[in-house]
Amino acid sequence: MYHFHKSCANIIVVILILTKNGEKFNMRMKKKRHGGERLSLMSSLIVSDPAIVPENIEKIYGNNNPLRIEIGCGKGDFIRGKAEQEKDYNYLAIEKIADVLTIATEKYASTKGLGSLAPNGGWQRPDGRLFPLGGDSVDFTMEEIGNVRFCVGDAAELLKDLPDNSVDTIYVNFCDPWSKKGHTKRRLTYIGFLNMYSRILKKGGKFCFKTDNRPLFDFSLEQVELSKFELEYKTNDLHASQMNEVNIQTEYERNFTEKGFKINMLIARNEK
């Protein structure tokens, strides 16, 4: 199994600002106590480097099912739901904020019935065994943890070393719009990123993108036109579309929708 290194978890505060017609909403998360130690306990769920996954997929997942990647998994609602909805795939969820990934891994383990946070710290298995902070990682088996693994780090760096034609689908949900002048190239739908996705995706593989930000969505459509992808589907109101029947909502998506945001979605097919 591939283990997480504790030194990756020095994150103090995460602030996400969501805007609509000039209105701002702040969603703030304080630093998690013992976040690094908590994430270390979940190391059976952690992959240190996505580049090692395709050639070791059977060793990591216990099968040779196709690989799907979510960039920016947040607290993991989408990846948990997708893995349950379409079980014949392996999923790798990447998140650059270690404290956020701590929550995602703990929620995943909890929903799989593998225990919960202990009252005085650490992780408690359903049979009562306690794995204290700073001790050995929880002894999850491959059969218990199923078809999802997690990775902490910046996707721009982590994905560049993935082998060609090694991924079935890439999901990007509600990424930073990088609205300031000069930040265009940082957008996860910029042509530079799309070219990287095209390289690592198999022919016919899919790129799926959701956002509440209409300018970002329009920009993304333009970038798809410049890329090796073929636009397969788009909507400016996902929850009123036919795709809503199979849509897995993220935590932020639920928050956006409650505030009156319409959700934009596109699916592009890799035709390199």
Cβ-count burial of 180 within 10 angstroms (0-12 exposed, 13-18 middle, 19+ buried)?
A: exposed
168 is catalytic: no
Cβ-count burial of 128 within 10 angstroms (0-12 exposed, 13-18 middle, 19+ buried)?
A: exposed
Report d(CA 227, CA 199) in Å as an integer: 11
Report d(CA 65, CA 15) in Å as an integer: 36
φ, ψ (nearest 5 deg) of residue 209: -135, 135
Q: Which of 130, 83, 135 is nearest to 104 (CA)?
A: 83
φ, ψ (nearest 5 deg) of residue 92: -125, 120
Query: How many beta carbons lie within 10 A of that of residue 233, not counting itself?
Result: 14
Which one of 176, 212, 218, 237 is the catalytic residue?
176
As annotated, the active-site residues are 176
